[in-house]
Structure 1
């Protein structure tokens, strides 16, 4: 693709597909985007064009030269199967204008949140082409690859738009070339990346909803993160006294083998509720990790309880020569483009920013979230009252036999019940900064974080408790004393 940028024309394309096929392929992608009018404009409204300084070396040129056909195959094969000749530009634009019925209700422009700058500009290219504005789309694509020379999907689209300038041919599609393209892993990965970016930006979360894991979040956590692996998407929420608000979302990659990590080295991304534990200085990391890394606390106590192993799960960036990775590409980490990760690095709080990683996010309304918290709130209050009353028998009912606690102060040899009764000494206590994070995957679990201050005192403990539902009752199986 370095040759394309330099000379403005294709150099020895690996698969000689007709320009009509190229147009039809881009039309398909554009039609998806047009189902949500204004999406590209909304997502690009507050971003300024960035500038990537990485040089386009021979490796990138080779990669780009092998990546000009990711989205061409489906339409080309369809035309071949029907015995049609090349699709003209006019036919492609007509099809794009009519193939706009969404499978879900489209989001309005005002409800579509910001995507990353480079992605928003790519989607604008799709949208322009779908509206029949081929030359402006080409100009936008040229500017995009100039600013982000390592963005392989953008290079592919630019190459397609350049090829689309070639007069259409009446020759039948080259089926041998199409079959060869089908078997090219790089093409398949870029096609899947394009598909997931478009899907996530077209099928927006319903208005005034949050992921089902975020029942209540204390304002001490200023941001929250949720990952939807099925859409290759990370959603960033800002938290205030008015609740969570979706402020941005980004394309991401997960493990080569998918999700639901179980053992060390299985190349899967874990599923669950985690917290950012640190922020690693990029100067201390290899270039492979890009702009930095944010480790999470996998395995968490619930993972340990189920015998899951492994570690070193991070949110991190990409090498300088690579803008984004394929949807399934990491050894288990969540990988973001470096410009996107830099935005995240400025917002997360160590130990206070929750990270939900889900196979597919379910979105719920505030009333639904409040309803979900009723049973665990009742259990927490019962635990608090039994402790304040010094009722050891009643307090013991809230603990599983294998309950464990981690704290800076050793309590070895002292049962949790005895310690709690002695600690409370019958004093009245106020709980504050409550957070309830729900996780359900066979078992029903709740991660509850709160601070407590006894009457007459100015400060107290901060706790993070892990509860497991057994029948209609909630039981404590792990607690961390945070400070």
Structure 2
């Protein structure tokens, strides 16, 4: 059963604000004034330029196919329409918008083919079948400024302000929810599913949400570890929802990927924001380098804890850094590794364990750490070599899964 929400009385009239999670640029269409604006958020949100536009022949928010209305909400620029276009109706340039978006589908809205395009014939207000049209020269200029994924806010009347206002609070809350979503996914926890509204997800995606849950649980059961990072988070309010879009880095044994996502959020009866719809899009940035930079700090912390435990002959701390199945040279298993070190420490305590020129790289099982190791003990023995470790994720930390050393002098 569709959640057929009526159009807002009088139409949607947002005030866009300069909150920190706003996009750098966006298009805003004011249907009342028949004007298209390009806005930029750079201390603060301000107008770059404006063009006259023409929208649907019928007033109000689009509800059904053929109602000649232009939809109201937050949409995103798609790809350029690569086909021969009727000059009078479309000029020679057109870009698709993602109507109906997931919330539109929840609300039972139908139709499609909503574009931003040129208009070759005589330009008059409210003259399209639901699209947003510009004069041909304006559309040509616009095509140099817009890009795939740029947000387009369409409303009866649009205003904007330099004040972050309440939108800052909501956007920050949604960013926190999004990071927690990534955290619970990484933990392979059932709390991951609490971020979604099952009934509205079923409506927006046209399939039972239980199938999504079952699929994810099968993945959780099959993966020794999962890591998820989100970055480049942006957020905008819609008529009765918010949209966040972001880049996601996903990693598990033997694979890694960066993708872009859009989440549509609505508040439940208790006031909690829940995901009600999703869209997958190309990422705005490959997050591999950012991921590795973040994990490099974690890997260095593991190596430093390992160095201190060895130098301090701390059996418990030393052993806790190894995975149960760890391999160290010809020794196998954390217990065997610790027993070997205990025997050495009982005979001759170490006086120096040095780590220099440390590098961190990706490894199919996790991370590979390599460094120059300097060792000396109380009896006067010393050596120098290259140590290589493979670290595997273990909850919020890492464990040493393999450790190899090669004397270099």
C-alpha distance in structure 2 between counterparts of 1:416 and 1:450, whole Å: 23
Q: Which residue pairs with 1:346 in the alignment?
A: 144
Q: Which residue pairs with 2:21 in the alignment?
A: 216
C-alpha distance in structure 2 between counterparts of 1:334 and 1:214, whole Å: 27
C-alpha distance in structure 2 between counterparts of 1:419 and 1:348, whole Å: 41
Q: Which residue pairs with 1:300 in the alignment?
A: 101
Q: 1:448 Cα shift?
A: 1.3
1:451 aligns with 2:247: yes
Picking from 465, 469, 472, the partner of 2:271 is: 472
Runs of 4+ in 1 over 4 A off after TM superposition: 212-215, 242-245, 411-414, 419-428, 454-459
Q: Deviations over 1:293-344 (max 9, x none)?
A: 1221111111011100111111122224x2x212x22211112111111111
Picking from 238, 241, 261, the partner of 1:439 is: 238
Q: Which residue pairs with 1:38 in the alignment?
A: none
C-alpha distance in structure 2 between counterparts of 1:475 and 1:267, whole Å: 32
**SS in structure 2 of the partner of residue 386 of structure 1:** helix
1:256-275 alignment, distance < 5 Å: 256-275=57-76
**SS in structure 2 of the partner of residue 256 of structure 1:** coil
Change (3 A) 1:419 1:249: farther
Q: 1:361 Cα shift?
A: 1.4
Range that drifts further, 244-253 or 300-309? 244-253
Q: Deviations over 1:218-237 (max 9, x none)?
A: 55xxx420111121111112
Max Rg structure: 2
1:88-127 alignment, distance < 5 Å: none
C-alpha distance in structure 1 between counterparts of 2:132 and 2:248, whole Å: 34
1:56-205 alignment, distance < 5 Å: none
1:227 aligns with 2:26: no
C-alpha distance in structure 2 between counterparts of 1:216 and 1:385, whole Å: 20
Q: Which residue pairs with 2:164 in the alignment?
A: 367
Picking from 355, 374, 379, the partner of 2:152 is: 355
Check the 8 A contact 1:214/1:436 in 2, yes or no: no
Change (3 A) 1:422 1:259: farther
1:332 aligns with 2:130: yes
C-alpha distance in structure 2 between counterparts of 1:415 and 1:345, whole Å: 43
TM-score by length of 2: 0.56
Change (3 A) 1:436 1:424: farther
C-alpha distance in structure 2 between counterparts of 1:383 and 1:465, whole Å: 11
Q: 1:387 Cα shift?
A: 1.9
C-alpha distance in structure 2 between counterparts of 1:339 and 1:332, whole Å: 21
**SS in structure 2 of the partner of residue 302 of structure 1:** helix
Q: 1:377 Cα shift?
A: 2.1
Q: Deviations over 1:412-461 (max 9, x none)?
A: 66636526746986544331111112113xx3x12111112257987423
Picking from 397, 416, 430, the partner of 2:194 is: 397
Give the unaligned 5+ runs of structure 1: 1-208
Q: 1:397 Cα shift?
A: 1.6
TM-score by length of 1: 0.48
Check the 8 A contact 2:99/2:112 in 1, yes or no: yes
C-alpha distance in structure 2 between counterparts of 1:377 and 1:235, whole Å: 27
C-alpha distance in structure 2 between counterparts of 1:308 and 1:215, whole Å: 31
Change (3 A) 1:397 1:281: closer
Q: 1:272 Cα shift?
A: 0.8
Q: Which has the higher contact order (CA 8 A, sep 6+)?
A: 1
C-alpha distance in structure 2 between counterparts of 1:385 and 1:370, whole Å: 23
1:309 aligns with 2:106: no
Check the 8 A contact 1:214/1:437 in 2, yes or no: no
Q: 1:210 Cα shift?
A: 7.2
Is the helix fraction higher in 1 or 2? 1
Picking from 39, 43, 46, the partner of 1:237 is: 39
C-alpha distance in structure 2 between counterparts of 1:425 and 1:218, whole Å: 36
**SS in structure 1 of the partner of residue 258 of structure 2:** coil
Change (3 A) 1:425 1:348: farther
Question: How many residues align structurally?
Answer: 259
Change (3 A) 1:363 1:284: closer
Change (3 A) 1:276 1:422: farther
Is the strand fraction higher in 1 or 2? 2
Q: Give RMSD over aligned pairs.
A: 3.2
Q: Deviations over 1:111-168 (max 9, x none)?
A: xxxxxxxxxxxxxxxxxxxxxxxxxxxxxxxxxxxxxxxxxxxxxxxxxxxxxxxxxx
C-alpha distance in structure 2 between counterparts of 1:467 and 1:271, whole Å: 16
**SS in structure 1 of the partner of residue 244 of structure 2:** strand
Check the 8 A contact 2:117/2:134 in 1, yes or no: yes
